Each structure stands twice: as C-alpha cells, then as structure tokens.
Amino acid sequence: MKINQHTRISALIKENRESINAIASLAPTLEKLKNPVLRKLMASRVTIEEAAKMGHCSIDDFRRALTPLGFEFELNTEGSGQDNEQKPEWLKQLKPEDITTFDVREMLAKGDDPLKEIMKKFKQVDPGKALCIINTFVPTPLVRLFEKDKALCYTEQIEEQEYHTYFLKQNSKKTTTETRGKGNITSENGLQFQALKTKLAETGITEIDVRHLEMPGPMQAILAALEQLPAGAALLVHHKRVPVYLLEELEDKDFKIHIFNISETEVKLLIEKN
C-alpha cells in the first residue's frame, strides 16, 4: 500500500493491524492506539503527520516503522496543513491584552487533564477576544470542540515541541443560536437544560452516572448505553468533565447533544437519539 504523511491511521490499521504496535512503539503518547476505544476515536481522525506531532517524532520515524510491514511511503508536498497557513486577519488584529494565554504543558506532564481549566478560562474570555493554549502538540479534539461552538481557531508551531492554538470567541448570539441538527452539540444553562429534560421525559430518558469510573470507563459505558437506546429517546449522563473524545465519536452520528456545565467537577449531558 502506498502512503504519505496525509494518510489516516485508520487506513494503515485496515491494511495491516500490525501497524498498531509499530506506531505505538514510536512514542508513549501513541500507545493509546492499543486501547480499542481510544483507537476508534483517534485512528479515523488523525493522519501520519498529525500523529508524528503528537508523539514528537518525525515522518521518517513512521517510514522506518511501517516499511517492514509492506507500506510504501511517498512524501506528498501538497496540502501540508496549518504549518503553511498564513496567520488569519482576526488574529493579526488582536492586541496582546486581548489574548489570554494558558500553558497546559506542565499539567499534561503530570498526567492531569487540562480540559476543565481550559473551558473555565474560555468562559471568562469576552466576545471578540481570544484564548491561547500552549501545548506540545496540536490539540485536534479541542479545536473541533470549540469550532462546534462557532469559535475561530488557529494553530502555529513555535518550536519543535511548542504549539500555540488560538480560540477567538465570537458574538454570544452566534454561539447560542446555531440551528440544531445532525451531530449538533450545544451548551445549555440550567433553565434550558431542565426544560429539555422535561420535554424528553415524554419519550423516555435513561440515566447513567459515570463519575466514579476511570478512563476509558466513562466512554465505554456511555457508548454501550447509547447502543441500547431506542430512537426518539434520550440518555442523561452525569459526568465529571466535558467528554471531548465522546463528542468527537458522536459528531457524525445521529445524535443531538446538550451540555450543562454546572461546575469544574460536575457536568450533565442529554443525548438525544434521532
């Protein structure tokens, strides 16, 4: 099979499952491919180029690992992604005081999940201003989550292991009046969430609490519950955090997801099955 830096990891696995161990051996970050749930989320969304950035390794490292498995690597110089993307006008126009910077590298090094703090800081950002996340790789799931809330996003590489990702908060009306539809994810306040809960109770609500489970237990439990959910019904989830990887998994599925972020340690989700 001929591949290049834009080939998705899922295509490699489909061709040869031995590629899972080959890629996982390149860096600790990439060992998540061995977990079936995380592999399902990551493989279809991440390219060789993106995985190399996540693992702080090179495209050539992937070539050396995959060539013995029968893959033929051909470098594709077209469509190289955001590295060659010019800085957007909205970012150029921002003043330094309009940008809140949050470095999550130390939290990640300790094994902590920075998502709660990131969401908290973005909530404090005024419309027309931005939050800059400093990370050791491109936070693709986070970018897609914010894009669903109509934030503008841009990532630039500063050094080999330093990426700055900017999230511009647009007018609040634009972020709350998105047309609900397939794969739609919306944030609700307490009153809105309670109204939805009352409405959906008429067609049936199944309730699940995953706050006591360790990763990837919450993901597995929620996906299993959704498989048993009849069309027209809803799943009420009690969670400790906004489940970014779950949202990624469900974005192309026939669900509507409503998020009520109560506090730093308590989140409720209503997932409607169409």
AA identity, residue 207: E
In CATH, which of 3.30.390, 2.60.40, 3.30.110, 3.40.1350 is domain 179-273?
A: 3.30.110
pLDDT score for 28: 85
The 10s digit of each residue's pLDDT in 104-161 is 988 877 777 788 789 889 989 999 999 999 998 777 777 877 877 778 999 888 887 7
Cα gap 198→203, rounded to integer Å: 10
Confidence label for 69 from pLDDT (cuts 50, 70 and 90): very high
- 272 versus 147: the higher-pLDDT residue is 272
CA distances from 229 to 99, 139, 193, 205, 271 (A): 43, 31, 20, 9, 10
* pLDDT over 80 (residue 85): no
H-helix segments, 98-206:
105-109, 115-124, 140-148, 172-176, 190-200
Mean pLDDT along residues 200-213:
92
* pLDDT over 50 (residue 173): no
pLDDT score for 179: 35
pLDDT score for 268: 95
Using alpha carbons only, how large is the chain's radius of gyration in Å? 20
pLDDT score for 162: 85
Q: What is the mean pLDDT of the chain?
A: 84
Least confident of 11-20, 93-102, 139-148, 258-267: 139-148
pLDDT score for 269: 95
Residue 249: name the closest of 52, 50, 38, 54 by CA.
38
Q: Give me the percent of the chain exceeding a pLDDT of 70.
A: 90
pLDDT score for 81: 45
Strands 162-168 and 205-209, by their bridges, are unpaired
